[in-house]
Amino acid sequence: MTTLSPVRPEGERPMGFADRLLSLPFVQRSDALRSFILGAWLGWQIESNWADPLLFAVYSFARPIASVMILVVMYSVITDGATQQPIFAYIYLGNALYIIVGGVLGGISWAVIDDREHYRTAKQLYTSPLVGYAYLCGRGAARLLIGAISTIIVTVFGVLLFGIPITIGSIDLPFLIASIMLGLTSLSGLGLIIGAISFQLGRNAWQAGELISGALYLFTGALFPLDILPPVLREIGLIFPATYWLEAMRRALLGTNMIGFPTFAALDNTAIAFILLIMSVGLWVSAAFVYRWSMRQAREKGVIDLETNY
């Protein structure tokens, strides 16, 4: 996965798999598909480019587990060890899944600033026929992959150690697949909007995606059911797709073990999926407009290849 020496041995071509995908005739003809695959390939090279594989493992696995452990400890102290309560599984899963939210939102907008300010390759990229939004989604996909691995590890950890009640029988597979797809579509739409706006901003936008996902963390039901919040603040969560996605994923994984928390008790699975679908469409349509607008603005102001000087 990572190379320690700067020189790769002859014959070892890390682009092998991507190369095969890119050689498919329909991929070769589509600017967007090529851009997505190359973005993902490049993103993976960047994300997994740790000089020390141990550090990579710590960052990707140990850190998320540690942060969930903090929650577990806090929860246990407050509730006197009541990890059998349904609220425990609710919080635990919410946090495991939120790693993905941060990954998708952050990955896309990070790539914009990373290319421009760190690698200083924006000029090279945006004079080639790459399709910007597809490329950025690809970069986000690499981050997503690492986030997803963390989420899976943290979840398995929770099932084995804390008895989070996920079993073969509790998983609603069709709903799980639908939730994952709808969640990723809506979140990437939002990520693209943040990424597109980042083109207008300087280096300060470096963490825009992380900041936004961090700021919304409290309002999405990752940490506690929305009902605890005053009604005004609750609304913030209700316009954010992650809120519905977390709910959908919990239901899909926990099945009947998921005791309906009052927030969405009135909505059945189909209704939740439908809301996510509407949000996906709305966000992608908006993203298309915002992206076009932002690229035009950037060309007008001459900031596509902006490098912030300090």
Partner 1 sequence: MSSTPLAIETHDVRRIYKIRGGKRKGEAKTLIALDGVSLEVPRGELFGLLGPNGAGKTTLIKILATLLLPSSGTAKVDGLDVTTQTQEVRRRISMVSGGETSGFGLLTVEENLWMFARFYGLDNKTIKSRLAEMMQMVGIYDRRSTKISDLSTGLRQKMNFIRGFISDPSVVFLDEPTLGLDVTAARDVRGFVKDWMAQNPDRTLLLTTHYMAEADELCDRLAIIDRGKTLICDTPENLKRRLQSETIFHLKIQPLRKPTSPENVVEAVPGVRSVTIADQTDFSELRLSLQGEEALPAVLSHLSGRGSGLLSLEKREPTLEDVFIQLVGRRLDEDTNLNGTGEER
Which residue, 27 or 180, is less far from partner 1 as judged by CB?
27
Which residue, 11 or 230, is less far from partner 1 as judged by CB?
11
Sign of the C-alpha dihedral computed for residues 62, 68, 72 and 73 taken in this order: positive
Contact 199, 303 (CB under 8 A): yes
**Region from 57-65, 240-248, 281-289, 296-304 binding partner 1, contact rule CB under 8 A:** 296-304
Site string for partner 1, 36-75 (x = CB under 8 A): --x--xx--xx--x--------------------------
Q: How far is the CB of 70 from partner 1 (least distance, A)?
A: 32
Find the helix packing angle between 132-162 and 269-301, rounded to 10°.
140
Query: Does the footprint of partner 1 cover residue 120 (CB under 8 A)?
Result: yes
Query: Hey, what long-range contacts does 81-87 have (CB within 8 A, 24 or more apart)?
Result: 83/162, 83/163, 84/163, 86/257, 86/258, 86/259, 87/225
Sign of the C-alpha dihedral computed for residues 6, 11, 17 and 23 taken in this order: positive
Query: Does the footprint of partner 1 cover residue 292 (CB under 8 A)?
Result: no
Query: Does the footprint of partner 1 cover residue 6 (CB under 8 A)?
Result: yes
Rg (CA), the chain: 21
Q: How many residues appear in the chain?
A: 310
Query: Does the footprint of partner 1 cover residue 16 (CB under 8 A)?
Result: no
Query: Does the footprint of partner 1 cover residue 22 (CB under 8 A)?
Result: yes
Alpha-carbon distance 89 to 80, whole Å?
16
Query: Does the footprint of partner 1 cover residue 28 (CB under 8 A)?
Result: yes
Binding site for partner 1 (CB under 8 A): 6-10, 14-15, 19, 22-23, 28-29, 31, 34-35, 38, 41-42, 45-46, 49, 119-121, 123-131, 296, 299-302, 304-305, 307, 309
